[in-house]
Amino acid sequence: MVMKNGLLGHLSLVVLLALLVISGCTSSGPSDPRATVIAMFGAMEKNDKAALAHLLDLGALMSNVNEDYALQTDNPRIITNPQQILDDLTGDGLTKTRWFALQRIVNQAEVTGETATVQVTFVDKASSTGYMTKFGLHIANGKWKIYSFKTFQEAP
């Protein structure tokens, strides 16, 4: 009887592992855009520039010259190369410093074809101010990449 239960337990484990492998291999679409935004914040926290480079569309972010995504800035900064974006989002970069001083709330994604937006709200509890943003994402090489950090509303 003991040998039979042990064999059934082993067989169940093998079947479970096989199902997990099959389900992982059959995933045909890109990951969830919201998961990409959460991964970006994780990479920022770890100062992982390589991971950020895989999550961001650096060319598209560089082309945005009309708005600064660092929050609480009056004049947009001019970014001239991808390394400046990566430096800004890691270490003592202005954007990382400001974003991580605030509470971050990552809401659900709105997907339309191969583009998506994820609303991220930054809350300054001390001044009771919130900054509502919509991160823009699109599919590039089969993965969601962030191409915009547009701030669309400041709420008192």
Which residue shows structure tokens 């669309």?
Answer: 152
pLDDT tens per residue across span 20-64: 434 333 344 568 999 999 999 999 999 999 999 999 999 888 887
pLDDT of 79 reads 77
User: With 50 as the cut, is the pLDDT of residue 70 above it?
Assistant: yes
Q: Which of 41, 47, 69 is nearest to 149 (CA)?
A: 69
Distance CA 107, CA 138 (A): 17
pTM for this prediction: 0.75
- Across the range 95-109, mean pLDDT stands at 94
- Across the range 122-145, mean pLDDT stands at 93
**Phi, psi of 100, rounded to the nearest 5 degrees:** -80, -10
Helix spans in the chain (H)? 2-25, 33-45, 49-55, 58-62, 82-88, 94-100
For each of the domains in the chain, give its residue range(s) and CATH number, in order of start.
30-155 (3.10.450.50)
**Phi, psi of 113, rounded to the nearest 5 degrees:** 65, -120
Confidence class for position 80, pLDDT limits 50, 70, 90: confident
pLDDT of 62 reads 83
Q: Are 38 and 109 in contact (CB under 8 A)?
A: no
